[in-house]
Amino acid sequence: MIMKKVIVTGTSRGIGKSIAAELIKNNYKVIGIGRKHTINNKNYHAVHHDLNTIEGYKKKIDNVIKEYKKIDAVISNAGTGFFENLENISQEKILDFFNVNLFAHIFISKLMISSFKKYKKGQFIFIGSEAALKTTEKATLYAAAKHGLMGFVDSFKAECNKSNIRTTIINPGMVRTRFFDSLKFEPGGEKENAINKKDIAKLVLFILNSSPYINYSNINLKPIKKVIKFKKKI
């Protein structure tokens, strides 16, 4: 059986790391892109890159394509959370935030689309957010990036469909990860209050293994009983 090769961005922790682990467990070769790498497996290839900057990104993806030739799919997952009133956010922070939460998704798509077209086959799965569907106070940057990502994917699909390239965006609600470590709120403590990152990983695997003649377009996920808990000030 030929081992499929998949690029996963944001594998340092959280959803990306969970996706990488699930794919490796199911006989995929994973090329993981992130700042830190803690997965130790012969089927995991670590590419060190901080997606807060796009400088040098093209060269690293070109090297991956050169080494592995045919890549079967890209899971564009990298993202961070930041919630603050716009007037309090520096210009540098705005640029860094959009680099990782929007531009990184666009650039890896641009870098990989030619390779997929060459083989007339490929798959993009983007991990977005429910913030693309609705927004809240202090989510100015986050909502803008996620709305931008969904708009990009919706348009990009038309280009991909012409070459039999499947394109999916998954928009999860609150996922129980370290995403909330630096925020002032977090999901409630019960299982039904947040999505398990392993469930997203299993969903990605299901989409990858599904019929090549089916395209799962926009998938929106919500916890059964969403609860937001605000952290106590120390």
In the beta sheet, which residues pair with residue 161?
none
What Rg value do the Cα atoms of the chain yield, rounded? 17
Q: Report d(CA 143, CA 32) in Å as an integer.
A: 26
Instruction: Kindly state the average pLDDT of the residues 19-26.
Output: 97
Do 125 and 208 meet the contact criterion of CB atoms below 8 Å apart? yes
Does the structure show a pLDDT above 90 at 110? yes
Do 167 and 124 meet the contact criterion of CB atoms below 8 Å apart? yes
Over residues 70-92, the pLDDT tens digits come to 999 999 998 877 778 889 989 99
Q: What is the pLDDT of residue 174?
A: 78
User: Can you read off the two tokens belonging to residue 142?
Assistant: 């986050």
**Amino acid at residue number 5:** K
Architecture (CATH level 2) of domain 4-230: 3-Layer(aba) Sandwich (3.40)
Q: What is the pLDDT of residue 233?
A: 65
HEC sequence for the chain:
CCCEEEEEECCCCHHHHHHHHHHHHCCEEEEEEECCCCCCCCCEEEEECCCCCCCCHHHHHHHHHHHHCCCCEEEECCCCCCCCCHHHCCHHHHHHHHHHHHHHHHHHHHHHHHHHHHHCCEEEEEECCHHHCCCCCCCHHHHHHHHHHHHHHHHHHHHHHCCCEEEEEEEECCECCHHHCCCCEEECCCHHHCECHHHHHHHHHHHHHCCCCCCCCEEEECCCCCCEEECCCC
More confident residue, 183 or 105: 105
Does the structure show a pLDDT above 70 at 10? yes
Q: Which of 154, 182, 184, 181 is nearest to 169 (CA)?
A: 154
In the beta sheet, which residues pair with residue 126?
76, 169
Instruction: Kindly state the average pLDDT of the residues 88-112.
Output: 92
Place of tokens 């590419």: 47
For residue 162, give Cα distances in angstroms to 90, 119, 156, 157: 41, 13, 11, 9
Q: What is the pLDDT of residue 133?
A: 79
Domain chopping of the chain, boundaries: 4-230
In our burial notation (b when 16+ CB lie closer than 10 A, e otherwise), range 202-228 reads ebbbebbeeeeeebbeeeebebeeeee
Q: What is the pLDDT of residue 192?
A: 76
Over residues 39-76, the pLDDT tens digits come to 999 999 999 998 878 788 899 999 999 999 899 999 99
Q: Report d(CA 172, CA 127) in Å as an integer.
A: 8
